[in-house]
Chains A and B, each alone.
Chain A
Amino acid sequence: DADVTQTPRNRITKTGKRIMLECSQTKGHDRMYWYRQDPGLGLRLIYYSFDVKDINKGEISDGYSVSRQAQAKFSLSLESAIPNQTALYFCATSDRTSGEYNEQFFGPGTRLTVL
């Protein structure tokens, strides 16, 4: 089984709908991240969480919210989806206890289309 899973893998929705993307990990890592990927822009950080009680905004948090329900679960919500939120979304994890510069482990991604 994959260490970092994301559900759903694909989602098509309409403008104005509320959408939740979920991420679960079995790696036991304390840190979790949400990124969006757009062609030509690489990955941009939306939100990150260093533990269950710690949530931080990233580079492009407007229009998004997150919830860290447990160490292993980190959800991303779009309260009212708009077409320019159409993108590929990645969840990632890392382990603070092994150092500050650790590798991030990525999920397979969720492709979201907002019509």
Chain B
Amino acid sequence: AQSVTQPDIHITVSEGASLELRCNYSYGATPYLFWYVQSPGQGLQLLLKYFSGDTLVQGIKGFEAEFKRSQSSFNLRKPSVHWSDAAEYFCAIGNYGQNFVFGPGTRLSVLP
């Protein structure tokens, strides 16, 4: 069975600092990986997705993620965090013919 872990429940960074949110997955075949963001009181918005090809994926709002098969990871990064990035971030895995499995989420707080 596929599964997703996000080791960090809550991360606090200062505005302008770099950010890395961790995501590890368990799946026997090639995974299809996603990062979603949930702003307070909002639904989930897709930041980026990886299906195949280049392992460094660019997304919206200046985010990127790198797929590392050897580490079963798909970490999300941003070089300079803005106060508006404060939100909850979910990593998810999907595969052919089946449904998404979401990680538990990482809540990001941004200090001014």
The answer to whether B63 has its CB under 8 Å from any CB of chain A is: no
- Complex Cα distance, B41 from A110, in Å, reads 10
- Complex Cα distance, B88 from A109, in Å, reads 15
- Listed residue (B4, B43, B46) with the most chain A CB atoms within 10 angstroms of its CB: B43
Q: Nearest CB to that of B36 among chain A residues?
A: A106
- Complex Cα distance, B4 from A90, in Å, reads 19
Whether A90 lies near B103 (C-beta < 8 A) is no
Whether B51 lies near A101 (C-beta < 8 A) is yes
Interface band, chain A: 20 to 34
Whether A104 lies near B100 (C-beta < 8 A) is yes
- Complex Cα distance, B19 from A96, in Å, reads 34
The answer to whether A58 and B99 touch (CB under 8 A), given A40-B9, A101-B32, A101-B51, is: yes
The answer to whether A90 and B49 touch (CB under 8 A), given A43-B102, A100-B97, is: no
Give residues in B with beta carbon < 8 Å to A: 4, 9, 32, 34, 36, 41-46, 49, 51, 90, 94-97, 99-100, 102-105
What would be 9 A-B contacts, judged by CB atoms less than 8 Å apart?
A42-B90, A43-B44, A44-B102, A45-B99, A92-B44, A103-B34, A103-B46, A106-B44, A108-B43
